[in-house]
Amino acid sequence: MADTEKSAKEATPSRLVHLKIRRQDAADKPDSKRWEEFKVPYLPNMNVISALQQVQKFPKTTDGKEVAPVCWEAVCLEEVCGACSMVINGRVRQACSALVDQLAPNGEPITIEPMSKFPVVRDLVVDRARMFNDLKRVKAWIDLDGTHELGPGPRESQEQQQERYPLSRCMTCGCCLEACPQVNDSSNFIGPAAINQVRLFNMHPSGAMHKNQRLDALMAEGGVADCGKAQNCVEVCPKEIPLVDSISVVARDTTKRLLFGWLLK
């Protein structure tokens, strides 16, 4: 991405970006949890990642202490990879699209914290393994053995594609889990992301063959019934996935399965 070195020199030295960052040295060192503050030169169109890159280059706190560089995750810088989720000024979002101009038009301090619903690895880095495990749990795939000489797949109506495509935009960033009040230490609610995957794959003509297995995975403890309908997920999803719709569709399908299953007995 754009190298900020040159523009840093040209920028007015008077304008600084003030960052207040929550740090922690390691998962097993909760005592090291602390706030550190940094001031870095402002650049036009700066986002939180470019501000954090400046901190990384010159990791010196506002009280003049040289510290280890702040750790964070970021990859694509265009809000499609899902890596850079953080809690910025109290709201979970992608740091690459969090513009300094909008967060702090008058140089207000910007607070940056790691997501709280995942174990902290270090500083702003968290471990999202549960999300990838949940993809396995709900079998978020099409069953297909061998990929050769299959010919064109089943046709799909434009209407269905336009319904499925937004669901497929999930980038496993974790924002919806972070915002969900039902995802917490005392519950094992699977969260909106995996439920949305169930809807996505159950809509696909081949995926539908394992529809019931996916629904069963969400009928166990921590499944779709644990949703408290707070609707925070849809508010924070950077890809504007209709997560609440997905939860209601899947909840309806599990209810049907429950009734149908009971009738069969």
Q: How big is the chain by its Cα radius of gyration, in Å?
A: 22
Contact pattern for other proteins over residues 183 through 222, marking x by CB under 8 A: ------------------x--x-xx---------------
The CB-of-39 to other proteins minimum distance in angstroms stands at 18
Query: Should residue 251 be labelled a site residue for other proteins when binding is judged by CB under 8 A?
Result: no
The CB-of-79 to other proteins minimum distance in angstroms stands at 7
130 CB neighbour count, 10 Å cutoff: 18
Query: Should residue 32 be labelled a site residue for other proteins when binding is judged by CB under 8 A?
Result: no
Query: Should residue 59 be labelled a site residue for other proteins when binding is judged by CB under 8 A?
Result: yes
Tell which one of 121, 219, 225, 251 touches other proteins (CB under 8 A): 121
Complex with other proteins: residue 31 or 262, whichever CB lies closer: 31
The CB-of-34 to other proteins minimum distance in angstroms stands at 15
Query: Should residue 57 be labelled a site residue for other proteins when binding is judged by CB under 8 A?
Result: yes
8 Å CB contact between 124 and 71: yes
Sheet holding 110-113, edge to edge: 34-41, 16-23, 110-113, 85-88, 91-94
DSSP 99: B
Query: Should residue 165 be labelled a site residue for other proteins when binding is judged by CB under 8 A?
Result: yes
Stretch that binds other proteins, among 11-19, 159-167, 212-220, 249-257 (CB under 8 A): 159-167
Query: What's the CA gap between 232 and 243, in Å, rounded?
Result: 10
Residue 200: exposure state from Cβ atoms within 10 A (0-12, 13-18, ≥19): buried
Query: Should residue 44 be labelled a site residue for other proteins when binding is judged by CB under 8 A?
Result: yes
Q: Could you tell me if residue 88 is left (phi over 0), alpha (psi between -120 and 50 degrees) or otherwise beta?
A: beta
Contact pattern for other proteins over residues 70 through 109, marking x by CB under 8 A: -x-xxxxxxxxxxx-------------x-x-x--------
Provide φ and ψ at 125, rounded to 5°.
Answer: -90, 130
Query: Should residue 11 be labelled a site residue for other proteins when binding is judged by CB under 8 A?
Result: no
DSSP of 58-98: S-B-TTS-B-PPPP----SSSSSS-TTEEEETTEEEEGGG-
Provide φ and ψ at 255, rounded to 5°.
Answer: -60, -45
State the Cα angle at 195 between 189 and 198, rounded to 5°: 140
Query: Should residue 181 be labelled a site residue for other proteins when binding is judged by CB under 8 A?
Result: no
Stretch that binds other proteins, among 15-23, 107-115, 134-142, 217-225 (CB under 8 A): 134-142
DSSP 207: G
Stretch that binds other proteins, among 23-31, 104-112, 225-233, 245-253 (CB under 8 A): 23-31
Query: Should residue 31 be labelled a site residue for other proteins when binding is judged by CB under 8 A?
Result: no
Query: Should residue 145 be labelled a site residue for other proteins when binding is judged by CB under 8 A?
Result: yes
Query: Should residue 56 be labelled a site residue for other proteins when binding is judged by CB under 8 A?
Result: yes
Q: Which helix (H) or strand (E) holds 114?
A: none
Joined together, the tokens standing for residue 11 give 């920028």
